[in-house]
Amino acid sequence: MNFLDYLASNSQQIVFLTQAHFLVVLIAVGLGSLISVVLGLAVSTGEPDPRRFSLDWFAAGVREGGLVFTAALLTVPSLALFALFLPITGLGVTTAIIVLTIYTLYTVLRNTVAGLTTVDRAVLESAKGLGYGRLRRLLTIQLPLAWPVILNGIRVTTLISISIAVVGAVVQGPGLGILLLNGISRIGAANSFYQVLAGTLLCLVVAAVFEIFFAIVQRLTIPRGIRV
């Protein structure tokens, strides 16, 4: 039996696990992006006045603190985070999604903050001068202009999440990691190598699907005037 035969005869299981992998990543990235973008928007602010205490200070604190904290989380090995959440949220998909979501936070938050702050000052000033209120400025000027950077952050975090999701199998999270764990525990048995190979390579297939997905989203959501 060669690799293709293996794929053909186990296609049902393989397709199911690939779909599950895709969905887990999609849900986690969706959740994480939503949290990060909303947080990034909420704490986006001008430079706080160093001599007067205001809400800007609080926002800047949350922003910088949030970046440091989520960056630290990203350095924690995924196995550790899965282990720490297992006693709380149990075996299965919940733990997998929570942990994956945590890993998506930093990249999206960082890109949201960077995207919002690099919007041309002249554009912001003229918006203000034409009578745009703060919220309108944020949602109709800053967010669309920052969107390409934010979207790129979501793209990158998706790629990373695909490879982290594999480890989720340790806590019985769904996805291609199951093929890897099965394969290694049955090492020497028939097709165990193909199982691991398939699990690894199909991650790249999932990544390719996401890349196509993001190319389409980019095309549809980036305003024409700022498309490169």
Partner 1 sequence: MSDNPDQTAVVPEPGAGQTDTIVLEGVEKIYPGGTSPAVSQLDMTIKQGEIVMLIGPSGCGKTTTLKMINRLIEPTSGRILLDGKDVTHVNGDLLRRQIGYVIQQGGLFPHFTIADNIGVVPRMLGWDKQKTKERADELLHLVGLEPSTFRDRYPRQLSGGQQQRVGVARALAANPPVMLMDEPFGAIDPITRDRLQDEFLEIQRTVGKTIAFVTHDLQEAVKLGDKIAVFATGKLEQYADPETVLTRPANDFVSDFVGGGAAVRRLSLLELARLELHPIETDEKAVGNSNGTPVVEIDASGKPVSWRHLPGADASGVALVTVPISGTVYDAVDVMLDGAASLVAVVDDDGRAQGVLHWNDLVSGLRTRERDA
Partner 2 sequence: MSTATPETINTQAQETVEEVEGKKESGLARLWQQHYDLVILPAIIILLLILLFVYIQTRDLDTIEERVLAADNVWGLLRQHLWLAFLSTVLVLIIAVPLGIVLSRRGARKAQGPVLAIGGFAQALPPFGVLLLMAFWLDFGVTTAVIGLTLAALLPVLRNTVIGLQQVDQSLIEAARGMGMSSRQTLFRVEIPLAVPVIVAGLRVALVLNVGTATLASYIGAGGLGELVQQALRLNRINVLLVAGAVIATVALLIDWLAGVVERVVVSRSG
- Residue 123 interacts with which of partner 2, partner 1, none, CB < 5 to 8 Å by class: partner 1
Exactly one of 48, 94, 144, 163 binds partner 1 (CB under 8 A); that residue is: 144
118: its two tokens: 């690099």
Does 65 engage in binding with partner 1 (CB under 8 A)?
no
Stretch that binds partner 1, among 43-51, 55-63, 107-115, 176-184 (CB under 8 A): 43-51
Does 125 engage in binding with partner 2 (CB under 8 A)?
no
Does 219 engage in binding with partner 1 (CB under 8 A)?
no
d(CA 93, CA 165) in angstroms, rounded, equals 11
Does 74 engage in binding with partner 2 (CB under 8 A)?
yes
Does 120 engage in binding with partner 1 (CB under 8 A)?
yes
Does 96 engage in binding with partner 2 (CB under 8 A)?
no
Pick 29 or 138: Cβ nearer partner 1: 138
In contact, 126 and 80? CB cutoff 8 Å: no
Exactly one of 38, 84, 128, 209 binds partner 1 (CB under 8 A); that residue is: 128
Residues in 68-87 at the binding interface with partner 1, rule: CB under 8 A: none
Q: Among candidates 14, 36, 17, which has minimal Cα distance to 158?
A: 36
100: its two tokens: 């994956």
Question: What does the CA dihedral 116, 121, 124, 127 come to, rounded to 10 degrees?
Answer: -160
Does 83 engage in binding with partner 2 (CB under 8 A)?
yes
Does 77 engage in binding with partner 2 (CB under 8 A)?
yes
Does 170 engage in binding with partner 2 (CB under 8 A)?
yes
- Residue 84 interacts with which of partner 2, partner 1, none, CB < 5 to 8 Å by class: partner 2
In contact, 191 and 7? CB cutoff 8 Å: no
Exactly one of 132, 193, 213, 214 binds partner 1 (CB under 8 A); that residue is: 132
Stretch that binds partner 1, among 13-21, 22-30, 115-123, 168-176 (CB under 8 A): 115-123
Does 224 engage in binding with partner 1 (CB under 8 A)?
yes
